[in-house]
Each structure stands twice: as C-alpha cells, then as structure tokens.
Amino acid sequence: MGAKLCTSIFGVGAYTVADTAYQNPDIKKHKETFDALHLSSREVSALFEVFKAIDKDSSGEISCREMLDHMRLEKTKFTKRVFTIMDQDGSGEIDFKEFCIATWNYCTRSKAALILFAFDLYDNDSSGAIDV
C-alpha cells in the first residue's frame, strides 16, 4: 500500500510520525492483523495519530458523532449505515483495529468495487435494486 495509504480520506499523509506503533500494547496485540493487511509500522503509526485526532474524548474508541464531526458530515441514514459497517463488533463505536480495517478496505478498493459498495449501502434488502 505504501505512502499512498488514502492520504485524501483521513489526512494520513499529513502526519509525520515516528515508527513507534508497536511500542503501544493496545496496538501491538493487533500486529498480526496489520501484517495481514501489509501495513507497515509507520503506516500503523500514522493511522493511530489520525485515530487519536478523531477520538476527541480520548476513550480509545470513535463514536459515530466523532467520525462525522471529523469528516464534516451530517448524520443521515447513509452515514449511519457506513459507520455501522465499520463497527464490526456492533458495539456502537469503532476501535483502532476496526478503524484500520475499514480504512484499508476503502483505500484499497477499485473504483468499480467502491461503486458496488455504495450501491449495496442503498440496496437495503439485497434485491439488486434500490427501492424509492
């Protein structure tokens, strides 16, 4: 994935970080997942800096409101659904591992895959059609 890790999405490229991700035990426990995604330690460090910037209450998890505020989006059915997809464990908040996986998924998809993803967000009953 390299230096092009979704710089326009969350501003990852704007962060100049030390390669210290795995000094944090909360990050280190997910190293196997990050390795499977081919994220370098420096990319994980940069993602963690972005995660901390979004996590305004420093709870270690991102709420839907924190994410939407960071991205300057209104809460709609669409944005709520996107957040719910990112929240893999259904806790109502996104932890760092979920944040990295969601960012990786979005940033590594082709344009065609992103269009299909967007369509699927509106295809509530998986019928292959969007109901009006």
Q: What are the tens digits of pLDDT across the range 63-78?
A: 999 999 998 999 998 8
pLDDT higher than threshold 50 for residue 4: no
- List alpha helices for the chain, DSSP H: 7-10, 25-28, 31-36, 41-54, 64-71, 77-86, 96-108, 111-122
Q: Residue 65 has which token pair?
A: 């409101």
Q: What is the DSSP track for 107-127? A: HH--HHHHHHHHHHHH-TTSS
What is residue 6's predicted lDDT score, i.e. its pLDDT?
Answer: 55
pTM for the predicted model, two decimal places: 0.76
